[in-house]
Amino acid sequence: MELKTKIDELMSKTEFSPSDREIYEEFKRALRVGEIRSAERDAGGTWRANTWVKQGILLGFRMGRMVEMSKPTETLQFFDKDTFPLRPMTLEDGVRIVMGGSAIRDGSYVAPSVVVVPPAYINVGAYVDEGTMVDSHALVGSCAQIGKRVHLSAAAQIGGVLEPAGALPVIIEDDVLVGGNTGVYEGTIVREKAVLASGVILTRSTPLFDLPNARVIKAEPDKPLEVPAGAVVVQGSREISSGFGKENGLSIYCPIIVKYRDEKTDASTKLEDYLR
């Protein structure tokens, strides 16, 4: 609460002193070690954004100044705010970072036993829990919350939701398998043990068709799209029923829940354990 008060006070400033910068570094360290996070789940399973934490991250963009991040000997050059360098990492962190070209931005939490396969990117405010694999070309966007034992397959995109500060970021709960080239955006919640097949796209405006329960799941004004626990979601399509679309036999994309997780699904996803 003391840190929250300090951040709230800094939000009204336009110029910053060295002591203000020390407060921001304290805030960023708390994010880095998981003492605070951008969103949290309560005892009833409801996720809520921590608005003040997201405001603190936004403060870093205002407070920072542009600097060259690259080394003089490097061919590639990088220029960014000095408040957001790469996350300091050591062997003692227990995070397996495979050689290549991955980047983890400071102000993110990456738990012991996480595996990062190049080239992957984890952005500020993200929370990546134990046993998760972030595969090649995968993105963990700003403030995204990733649970335990999740596999973000190659080229999976977990969108960032930094603004507005009160908006819920994307949530991927424990034991979820996110297939290759899958995209989850705009504060969507994927509940535990769900499986998103390759190429599935989920956004706030995407209706999700639940075949086993004969229902359509949609986001509401005060509630994001939510994938039920254990749902197995694949790419689908539905016919356009009128006008030019019907005349030309056109269809549009839609995600479909084809079943809920069973022993066969568990057996196929068990293979992921050998990669960790």
Burial grade of 4 (CB within 10 A; 0-12, 13-18, 19 or more): middle
What is d(CA 125, CA 98) in angstroms, rounded to the nearest whole number?
22
Q: What is the pLDDT of residue 266?
A: 72
Judge whether residue 170 has pLDDT over 60.
yes
Q: Supply the DSSP symbol for 34.
A: T
As its CATH architecture, domain 84-266 has 3 Solenoid (2.160)
Q: Which residue has the tokens 């990062």?
A: 116
Contacts of 243 (CB under 8 A, 6+ apart): none
What mean pLDDT value characterizes the chain?
94
Instruction: Measure the CA–CA gap between 161 and 170, rounded to whole angstroms.
Output: 7
Rounded mean pLDDT, 77-82: 94
Percent share of the chain, pLDDT over 70? 96
Q: What is the pLDDT of residue 273?
A: 62
Contacts of 267-275 spanning 24+ positions with Cβ under 8 A:
269/151, 269/177, 269/195, 272/133, 272/151, 272/177, 275/115, 275/133
Residue with tokens 């300090």: 6
- Alpha-carbon span 276 to 273, nearest angstrom: 6
Please give the average per-residue pLDDT across 113-119, as a whole number: 97
Residue 274 reports pLDDT greater than 60: no
Predicted pLDDT at 58: 96
Give me the mean pLDDT over the 104-110 stretch: 98
The phi and psi torsions of 62 (rounded to 5 degrees) equal -70, -40
The yes-or-no verdict on residue 264 having pLDDT over 90 is no
Taking alpha carbons only, the member of 183, 219, 202 closest to residue 255 is: 202
Tens of pLDDT, residues 197-213 = 999 999 999 999 999 99
pLDDT of 272 strictly over 80: no
Per-domain residue ranges for the chain?
84-266
Mean pLDDT of 4-23: 95
Given a cut of 70, is residue 271 above it in pLDDT?
Answer: no
